[in-house]
Amino acid sequence: MSLLKQLFLAICLFLLVAFSGSFFVSLESSREQMLGQLRSHAQDAATALGLSLTSQIDDPAMMELLVASIFDSGYYTNIRIVNLEDESVLLERSSATTIEDVPSWFVSLVNLHPQGGDALVMRGWEQVARVEVVSNPQFAVARLWASSLGGLVWLLACGLLSAVLGGWLLRRQLRPLDAMVKQAAAISQRTFLSQANVPRTPELKRVVLAMNQMVEKLKALFAEEAARSEKLRAESYQDSLTGLANRRLLDEQLGDQLLHNEQSSDGFLLMLRVNDLGGLNQRLGGQRTDALISSIGDLLKRISAQAERRHWLAARNRGGEFSLLTPGLDPHSAERLAMEISATLENLRLTGASDCTPVAHLGIVAYRPGERLAEIWLRLDQALAQAQHHPERPWALLQAFAAGPSQPQHDWRAWIDDALNHGKLKLYFQPVVHCADTSEVLHHKVLARLLDPQGEAIAAGHFLPWIERLGWSARFDLAMLEHTLDYLLEHPWPLALSLSGSTLRDPDALRHILAQLKALPQMVALLTLEIDERQLPSASELQLLTQRLRDSGYRIGLQHFGGHFSQVGNLAHLGLAYLKVDGSYIRDVDRQSDKQLFIEAVFRTTHSIDLPLIAEQVETRGELDTLKALGLFGVMGRLIGPPQPM
């Protein structure tokens, strides 16, 4: 029971005791007073009647008239005249003692008995008769009942007013406690709130100040851990001059694309090499050359930062050599991209060199899952050599195979549209298990296959780029959500389903998703929605989005995390269910100590706000053992279990 309710009940109990005591004391006092008044009333009537009968004792008619006048003018139960000589009754008038409009329990409680009085009737000096008068308590009991009701109404009114005022005052005084409860709940949801209004009550003031101090220390600790982790990530995977990824991260991400997994897809790798970097340093100076390199880096950032290209990766390999990894790009778009970059570089040439030599040459090669990394770099060198030998066009594209689907004659638009319209989706599930005990399944990640016209299941890495290019991401996500919810109705076990950034930015699609989720509140504990870190909206939009999703009752997770670790400060207050670290930071973590330091720093940061950390794409036993030693919450990958239909 809450403190407010306890205090409220205590006040009510106190008022009840006070009223009961006051009622019984007042009742007893009034009862004694009424008994005295009844005795006095009866005695006065007997005395008056005795005096009146002194001269009329021998006249029966007159005596009866006098008795009748007294009996009818007051509240009497019985009046009689008794002959003293033989105790015979000369005259008697009586009536039944009835008390109307008063509850019988109150009459029994008051127990106000009739009171009597007597007087002698004289004939000269001789005592002739005795007058006996018994009063009727009806009037007295009615007066007591009326006064008791008045007292009860007054005390109830006072009690009600006291309860209302007391409750308001208690709520006002205990408001800081409610704020502290919100503070504690916010901390559990990775949000740090401080109370701006400090109460005046000394006891509560000390508690609130201590709570604020604890929140500020937790916030500082979290910020410190986040900054340390971001510094480690920048030192290991980021170029200091341009802010792009370095060659190491590029190799990691390209290695992910070359693996045969759900996210792998065909694509192109572009390499840009600045011409005569050493000569530029001598002619322009180090500062202007660095400015040129920074401008090229900004160009690649702008290209890869577009919404539909957020899964691309721009990197500076070394010196004047840059790369752009573009999974899902088709040959025609690759050529247009090369021309776009070349045209922009021509503008930079005006400030970078005085002759007609291009500022940089571009080599573009296609890749697909299953290739070796060394082969791709070899083809890139060949493409750059071709570009350098053709001054009329500063770029060259090498395509050693037909990039795209295994059956290029497919009309992708037609069969994807047909698959989405007719629900030709096949759900696959990949287990996510507890790191310390891999037999304990946390949930299953929902993956999709689209069935082509021949009934062959096509992996997501092949058709997702086409879906994004066609602008059908929202359609695909809605279809996936519908199939997943239908599956949960028959097989209620924990699942995680990804939503694309395009869907989250589409108000109509998001409204349909929320409507479907709210229509099935019984699935709240079974389904977690995942957002890709590479497709996150702005901080304000993300806050509103996660709030709407949490209002539906469903949990939210973040997958492929690690590329923008500086955002952890913004993610802390979103109430995420977990973070899934991108597989590029997990590969060979058992053999690379700097990766271990980075994962350990990420774990410390998330652990400080009680946010579970899950590793993606765990492929070897050594990686699993290392992650287990680091204390991660969960793992997933082909070592744990490949995607399987259920």
pLDDT band at 404 (very low <50, low <70, confident <90, very high): very low
pLDDT average, residue stretch 495-505: 88
- The Cα 127–Cα 120 span in angstroms is 7
Instruction: Give pLDDT, residue 571.
Output: 64
What single string gives the DSSP state of each residue in 385-439? HHHHT-TT-SEEEE-SS--S-SSTTS-HHHHHHHHHHTT-EEEEEEEEEESS-TT
Res. 2: pLDDT tops 80: no
- pLDDT tens-digit profile of 47-85? 887 788 777 777 788 888 887 887 777 677 788 888 887
- pLDDT for 97: 64
The answer, yes or no, to whether residue 181 has pLDDT greater than 80, is: no
Q: Is the pLDDT of residue 633 over 90?
A: yes
- Region 273-279: what's the mean pLDDT? 83
Portion of the chain with pLDDT greater than 70, in percent:
91
Residue 606 has pLDDT above 70, yes or no: yes
**In the predicted structure, residue 95 carries a pLDDT above the cut 90:** no
Per-residue pLDDT averaged across 529-539, rounded? 81
CB 360 within 8 A of CB 394: yes
262-to-74, 432, 566 alpha-carbon distances in Å? 106, 15, 27
Token pair for 273? 């090499």
Q: Report the distance separating Cα 314 and Cα 303, nearest Å.
A: 9
- Distance in angstroms (rounded) separating the CA atoms of residues 611 and 556: 12
pLDDT of residue 631: 92
What pLDDT does residue 406 have? 42
Question: Using CA of residue 608, residue 610, residue 615, residue 621, what is the dihedral sign?
Answer: positive
| pLDDT beyond 80 at 419 | yes
Task: Tell me the sheet residues that pair with 433.
Answer: 441, 635
| Region 347-375 average pLDDT | 75
Q: What is the pLDDT, as a whole number, of residue 457?
A: 82
- Determine the pLDDT at residue 401: 52
Max mean pLDDT among 42-46, 356-360, 397-401, 536-540 falls in 42-46
Residues in a beta bridge with 531: 499, 558
What burial class does residue 625 get, using C-beta atoms within 10 Å of its C-beta: 0-12 exposed, 13-18 middle, 19+ buried?
A: exposed
Would you call 122 exposed, middle or buried from its count of C-beta atoms within 10 A (0-12, 13-18, 19+)? middle
Cα distance between residue 90 and residue 82, in whole Å: 6
Top-confidence range, 90-99, 575-584, 620-629: 620-629
DSSP 8-state secondary structure symbol assigned to residue 584: G
22's CB contacts (< 8 A; 6+ apart) are 151, 155
Q: Considering only residues 125 and 365, tell me which one the structure prediction assigns the higher pLDDT.
A: 365
Average pLDDT over every residue of 305-334: 83
How many residues belong to the chain? 646
Work out the mean pLDDT of the chain and round it to a whole number.
81
pLDDT one-digit tens code per residue, 209-246:
888 888 888 777 777 777 777 777 777 788 888 888 88
The answer, yes or no, to whether residue 408 has pLDDT greater than 50, is: no
Place 98 in a pLDDT band, splitting at 50, 70 and 90: low
**Average pLDDT for 378-388:** 87
Q: Which residue from 322, 249, 239, 254 is spatially nearest to 594, judged by alpha carbons?
A: 249
Q: Point out the least confidently predicted range of 98-102, 259-263, 319-323, 499-503.
A: 259-263
pLDDT for the residue numbered 529: 93
Entry pTM = 0.65
For the chain, domains (ranges, CATH) are 34-156 (3.30.110.200), 238-398 (3.30.70.270), 412-645 (3.20.20.450)
pLDDT over 60 at 488, yes or no: yes
Percentage, residues of the chain above pLDDT 90 = 15
Separation between Cα atoms, residue 68 and residue 94, nearest integer Å: 10
CA quadruple 339, 342, 346, 351: dihedral sign: positive
Task: Tell me the pairing of strands 89-94 and 267-274.
Answer: unpaired
Inter-CA distances, 261 with 365, 370, 640, Å: 21, 10, 14
Tell whether the model's pLDDT for residue 142 goes beyond 50: yes
Question: What does the pLDDT average to over 156-178?
Answer: 77
Q: Do residues 64 and 79 touch, judged by C-beta distance below 8 A? A: no
pLDDT in tens, 551-577: 888 888 999 887 665 566 566 667 788
What pLDDT does residue 486 have?
A: 92
